[in-house]
Amino acid sequence: MPQKIIIIRHGETDSNRKRIVQGHLDIPLNDKGISQAQSAALQLKEHHIDVIFSSDLLRAYTTAEHTAKHHDLPIQKTSLLRERHYGSLQGVSFAMVAKKANAEFVHFSQVVRGREKEYGAESDEEMMERIRKFQTYLDNHKNKTVAIFTHGGLIALLLRHFLYLTAVEVDKMSFPNASPIILMKKGERYEIEK
């Protein structure tokens, strides 16, 4: 396993700004998102990154490109790091998702949980299976620093996987656009570096 894992959510898109569910929709960064990606790259400049992985969706890959330039590294793209597929909810506003579900709005992923079949959405278990497959890539980078550019929904599951957190614990966390989360290996486990 890597010694350090740096997880970065993609920069802002117009759909983020308008509070629209993106899922697998391939939405580019907006101007603010490009600026956020540049800022994240500068923040990460001080870290010795050995490998960069990215979701194959444009918003994550474009965010990764800015960091890759500073480190002169190729980006390894994979669909395993994509956002959750939200089925019929992709392209729908957060408010409409809550209304459809007759739920007080907390977060659309919480509205979907347990009702994935109804919406044709990917379940937590299906996403965890993607993470377990991705783990085989990480296992090839023992004692290295790995950067992962991905999406908010997948970050939640990555943290559950690496930190052994529950869904309830992760639901209380937020993952701002282009803000790195650094996990350091401590023995056989990972901890968030403060």
85 labeled binding residue: yes
16 labeled binding residue: yes
Q: Which helix (H) or strand (E) holds 152?
A: helix 152-163
11 labeled binding residue: yes
Q: Is 66 a catalytic residue?
A: no
9 labeled binding residue: yes
86 labeled binding residue: yes
Q: Tell me the one-letter amino acid at 183.
A: L
Residue of 10, 66, 71, 151 marked active site: 10
Residue of 66, 71, 83, 151 marked active site: 83
Q: Is 126 a catalytic residue?
A: no
Q: Whole-angstrom Cα distance, residue 111 to residue 131?
A: 22
84 labeled binding residue: yes
Q: What is the DSSP string of 50-107?
A: -EEEEESSHHHHHHHHHHHHHHT--EEEEGGGPPPP-GGGTT-BHHHHHHHTT---S-
Active site positions, annotated: 10, 83
Q: Which residues are annotated as a binding site for substrate?
A: 9-16, 59, 83-86
Q: Extract the annotated binding site.
A: 9-16, 59, 83-86
